[in-house]
Amino acid sequence: MFIKKETVLMKPLFEFFIKLCILSVILWAIIFFALDPGATDRYSVFLAWIMVVTNTVVGYLLFEYALDKESAVFTKVVFGGLMVRLLLMMVLIAVVLVRHLAVVNDFVFSFFAFYCIYVIVEILGYQKKNKQKKNTA
């Protein structure tokens, strides 16, 4: 039986999104059931979460795009994208804090926690994609 190369290469992308969804459901279940609703501003937590998830998805998609490109293009896309994403995140955080769009402590703690968790998922996704690419080569 023949399997198309595109199908095999899309598997890590699908797995990445599935893992991201499962992780998000688990984290939100913890937030809703383990944290006291009056003690935590859920809007601030949600704002931090949506920023981090968007950053993670964009980072992984940039990696997907650049993986089969030549080394110079890969470096520009991945590391240039990282720089642009970090600058954009800093600007968004500054806007949220300066305009008082969220409760500062809840937002900052949530952002830091989500970022630490989701960057691990992003790196594991990179590793899975690299391993898959080497196996098909």
CA distance 87 to 31: 28
Q: What is the pTM of this model?
A: 0.85
* Per-residue burial over 61-81, b = 16 or more CB atoms within 10 Å of its CB, e = otherwise: ebbbebbeeeeeebeebbeeb
Domain range summary for the chain, segments of one domain joined by +? 5-136
Per-residue pLDDT of the chain (137 residues; tens, 9 = 90+): 455 555 555 677 888 899 999 999 999 999 888 877 788 899 999 999 999 999 999 999 999 999 889 999 999 999 999 999 999 999 999 999 999 999 999 999 999 999 999 999 999 888 888 887 777 76
* Measured distance between the N- and C-terminal CA atoms of the chain, rounded to whole angstroms: 18
Residue 106 phi/psi, 5-degree rounding, is -65, -40
Residues 9 and 136 sit within 8 Å (Cβ to Cβ): yes
